[in-house]
Chain A
Amino acid sequence: MKFARFEAVAIAVLFALVGCGPAPIDPSRQVGPNPYLPPIHQYLLPPMHIAKIVGWNGATPSVAAGLRVQAFATGLANPRSLYVLPNGDVLVVESGGPPGPVSRPKELVMNWVLKMAHSRTKPGQRILLFRDTDGDGIPDEKSIFIDHLNSPFGVVLVGSDLYVANTDAVVRYPYTSGQTRITDPGVKLCDLPGGPIDHHWTKSLTASPDGSELYAGVGSNSNVTENGIQAELGRASIWQIDRASGAHREFATGLRNPNGLQFEPQTHTLWAVINERDELGPDLVPDYLTSVQDGGFYGWPYSYYGQHIDPRVQPQRLDLVAKAIAPDYALSSHVAPLGLVFYTGTNLPGHYRGGAFVGEHGSWNRAVMNGYKVIYIPFVDGRPSGPPEDVVTGFLVDGDKARGRPVGLAVDSKGGLLIADDTGSSVWRVSAASP
């Protein structure tokens, strides 16, 4: 404790000297419905605090009491998201984003730094299928389900139609139960905003409970409009796509980078986790979990966390700021939530029923790392109730080395929680310690 305080002071002094701004606060002040929002600090030199990727080397993540964790799959090429088919087969999406453009010197540095924060393995750009034939929860068969995709992320099955959200389009494939490989080229349902600039490239995908509509998360094309507002057309929003025609409308906007689109099972409302903006200080802006209202505007780029204006955006749109909705539940700053799943299984202890698991990929622009874990947020009557709990940790060692980084989540047919770990090249399965 004493050491932690000394460290905090040392970091504060160091950062004051190089102009990196205030020392980070305790993230627990920024979780839940009313996060503390410090004043804006615009950096002279933004912190680039990258966790060195060290890999697992046989180690496993740590889990909360009453749980156990096993490697579900290892040796993967950048697993980013997961989807469980009705017959229990698990789809693992191996994916990576397109290279960022270099339109100013900063991006030369940023691209290099972000490369260090990600897996050195070339992303598979494909979907793998894993099957557990002996019922122990761990797969014993593996096949390449769909190959040669364009930075895929979201997957959803409606009836016999399997939809894959590539970074530039939603593609439909015919699927029959038990199939282990799809060779059909698929049919494009709808274009999504892709390149030439494709800053937030992960397109999360889900279907409405009745299956008539698809919802796709389309992240912004910049941190905060530095690629020009014209690059943001159709972005920072959740699209509602008509499954029959492929026609779309923007269901909700102002969501900087929405991922983990999921319908809450009790109320059937759409929820998502959002990555908020960087470079306003170590504790701005908190990323969040929120229900998504039809027609709702959530601030980006003009304002954050409701109506807090971002001075970096000109011309301002006070008319839009006035309508900006404050999100439901803050997750603290720079944790980078990319996975969300509501737990409807029965395997995990009763404590975990009905709430949401969130996968936090972890920070790279905060002097003290934040995220790098999977948390659980209890829900009552379809709303978050109570503080988040750490469920799966150990992704970070010695404060600044990463064994892995959790991304997409899913619940398998036996009720185990699956976690895609992109830099750890693995998928982890969390289940009850005693069945």
Chain B
Amino acid sequence: MLSINPRSTLTLGGRPLHAMLVPIPIVCFVGTLITDIVYWQSGAMLWANISAWLLLVGLIVSLVAAPAGMIDFFGDPRIRELRAAWIHGIGNATALILSIFNCLIHTRDAYTSVVPTGLILSALVVVILLVTGWNGWALVYRHGVGVRQTQRP
């Protein structure tokens, strides 16, 4: 039975895979900004090391979450009709590319692994995530993307 809502194509047990995974990179990249700031202020290398791990874990999960999102995006034309989906997709792709660069910057040694380029990239990514998150929530909670519903209540 076709859902009346835009449908998620890649699901696990009927739950959209993309929505399951995205919280992990979001938390990791927000965490990176926090630990970058703490390193910048304290100079204690431990915080820069934590940033590097958070970035790596965020990136690895993103590399699964992003294709899952793209499959959903191309899987149902009703999703592609939504402006929020385009903003969400292009924004997150940008955040992902910036995070790859950020990950490389964080492989530098000591201070310049964070300040200033790493810190700026971490902050930019969080700003982008606020916008893409806002639009992502619109996709689910306003347009019902991936929410299975066969009949209007």
Interface residues of chain A, those whose CB is within 8 Å of chain B, are 19, 42-46, 103-106, 222-228, 279, 311-315
Known A44-B104, A228-B46; contact A312-B52, beta-carbon cutoff 8 A:
no
Chain A contact residues: over half helix, strand or loop, or mixed? loop
Contacting residues of chain B (100-117) with chain A, CB-CB under 8 angstroms: 101, 104-113, 115
Q: Which chain B residues lie closer than 8 Å to A46 at the CB level? A: 107
A315 (CB) vs chain B CBs: closest residue: B43
Q: Looking at the assembled complex, report how far the CB atom of B129 sits from the nearest CB atom of chain A, in whole angstroms.
A: 21
In this complex, what residue of A is CB-closest to B51? Answer: A104
Give the chain B neighbours of A45 by CB distance below 8 A. 104, 107
Give the most central of B43, B110, B111, B113: most A CB within 10 Å: B110
Chain A's closest residue to B57 (CB) is: A105
Q: What are the nearest 7 A-B pairs in CB distance? A: A226-B109, A314-B111, A312-B110, A104-B52, A104-B49, A228-B45, A106-B107
Which secondary structure dominates where chain B touches chain A?
helix
B53 contacts A by Cβ under 8 Å? yes
Chain B interfacial positions (CB closer than 8 Å to A)? 43-46, 48-49, 52-53, 56, 101, 104-113, 115
The reply to whether A311 and B111 form a contact with Cβ atoms under 8 Å apart is yes
A397 CA / B50 CA spacing, docked (Å): 41
Contacts A44-B104, A226-B45, A228-B45; A279 near B52 (Cβ below 8 A): no
Extra inter-chain contacts (8) besides given A105-B53, A225-B109, A311-B111, CB under 8 Å: A104-B106, A105-B107, A106-B52, A222-B110, A225-B45, A312-B108, A312-B111, A314-B110
23 contacting pairs across A/B (C-beta < 8 A)? A42-B108, A44-B104, A44-B105, A45-B104, A104-B48, A104-B52, A104-B53, A105-B53, A105-B107, A106-B52, A223-B109, A224-B109, A225-B109, A226-B45, A226-B109, A226-B110, A228-B44, A228-B46, A312-B108, A312-B112, A313-B111, A314-B43, A315-B43
Contact A279–B109 (Cβ < 8 Å): yes
> Which residues of A have CB within 8 Å of B101?
44
Structural contact, A312 and B109, CB atoms closer than 8 A = yes
Q: Which residues of B contact A228 (CB under 8 A)?
A: 44-46
| 8 Å CB contact of B112 from A106, A222, A223, A311 | A311
Inter-chain contact B105/A226, CB cutoff 8 Å: no
Closest-CB distance, A420 to chain B (whole angstroms) = 29
Which residues on A sit within 8 Å (CB–CB) of B56? 105
Nearest residue (CB) in A for B114 is A314
Complex CA–CA separation, A314 to B115 (angstroms): 10
Note all chain A residues with C-beta closer than 8 A to B48.
Answer: 104
Residues of A within 8 A of B111 (CB): 311-314
Q: Which residue of A lies closest to B111 (CB)?
A: A314
Distance in angstroms from B103 CB to nearest chain A CB is: 8
Give bound CA distance, A123 to B107, whole Å. Answer: 29
CA–CA, A103 and B110, complex, Å? 13
- Give chain A residues whose Cβ lies under 8 Å from the Cβ of B43: 314-315
Residues of B within 8 A of A222 (CB): 109-110
Q: Are B52 and A105 in contact (CB under 8 A)?
A: yes
* A308, B111: Cα distance in complex, Å: 16
Q: B104, B105, B108, B109: which has the most chain A beta carbons within 10 Å?
A: B109
Specify which chain B residues have a CB less than 8 angstroms from the CB of A105 in the assembled complex: 52-53, 56, 107
User: Which of B48, B49, B56 has the most A CB atoms < 10 Å from its CB?
Assistant: B49
Q: In the complex the two chains form, what is the Cα distance from A43 to B56 in whole Å?
A: 18
**Could you tell me if A226 and B113 are in contact, using CB atoms closer than 8 angstroms?**
yes
Nearest CB of A to B68, in Å = 24
Q: Name the residue on B nearest A312 (C-beta).
A: B110
How distant is the Cα of A227 from the Cα of B113 in the complex, in angstroms?
13
A317 to B145, CA, bound (A): 57
Across-interface contacts of A44 in B (CB, < 8 A): 101, 104-105
CA distance A313 to B112 in the complex (A): 8
Bound complex: CA A348 to CA B15 (Å): 79
Are the CB atoms of A225 and B110 closer together than 8 Å? yes
The complex places the Cα of A285 from the Cα of B98 at a distance, in Å, of 30
